[in-house]
Amino acid sequence: MNKTAQREAIIQELRKMRNHPTADELYDVLRTKLPQISLGTIYRNLEQMVQMGMIRKLELTGRQKRFDGDLSEHYHMRCRYCDRILNIPQEELSGLDKELVLLRNRLQLEGFILELVGRCPYCAEAMSKMQEESVPDEEQEECTAGTTAQAL
Ligand SMILES: [Zn+2]
Ligand SMILES: [Zn+2]
C-alpha cells in the first residue's frame, strides 16, 4: 500500500469517527482493515496532516493528543467523568467570540485555546437514572405533577 493510499485511509477513518480519537484509538480501528499499518505510520501521517492543515490537533491539557477531522470552527467540551470530547457549535458561544476579538485587538493575542469542562449528555443521563432509581415511585409521580402544574 503506497503512502498516499495510507494517508487517504487514515483521514477517511478520522472523519468518520466523530469522537476526536487519539492515534491509538485510530490504530485500533484501522488495523482491522489494514493489518499491515503501524501505529508509527498513523502517528506520522496525523502530524503531517496537522502541518498541512488537513486535520486539527486538539490542545487539551495533560492528555494523549486527540485529532479532529472536522475543520469547521467549533469549540470542544471535555467530559470530566468519561473524558469524551463533544463539539460545541460556534453559534452557542457567539457572544464569547466577540469578546475574544476585542481582547485580541487590545492584548495582541495570537490565538486562544479554550477548554470547556463539564458533564456530557451520556454521563448526565446515567446519573439521572441512578437518581431516579433511588427515588421511590410515589414521590417521583408527585414531582412530575408539580412540574406540569407549574408549566401551565
Ligand atoms: Zn461523559
Ligand atoms: Zn471537534
Instruction: Pick 26 or 135 by higher pLDDT.
Output: 26
Query: Residue 24: what pLDDT?
Result: 95
Among 14-23, 42-51, 119-128, 142-151, the minimum mean pLDDT is found in 142-151
Ligand 2 centroid from CA 138, angstroms: 42
Q: Alpha-carbon distance 60 to 24, whole Å?
A: 16
Q: Where are the domains of the chain?
A: 1-70, 72-152
The Cβ-side half-sphere exposure at 136, using a 13 Å CA radius, reads 2
Give the pLDDT confidence of 6-26 residue by residue, as tens digits: 999 999 999 999 889 999 999
CATH 3.30.1490.190 fits 72-152, yes or no: yes
**H/E element holding 74?**
strand 74-79
Ligand 1 centroid from CA 118, angstroms: 8
CATH number for the domain whose boundaries are 1-70: 1.10.10.10
Average pLDDT of the residues of the chain: 85
Ligand positioned closest to the Cα atom of 18: 2
Ligand 2 centroid from CA 21, angstroms: 10
Q: pLDDT-derived band of residue 143, with 50, 70 and 90 as boundaries?
A: very low
Contacts of residue 75, Cβ cutoff 8 Å, sequence gap at least 6: 87, 88, 90, 92, 93, 114, 116
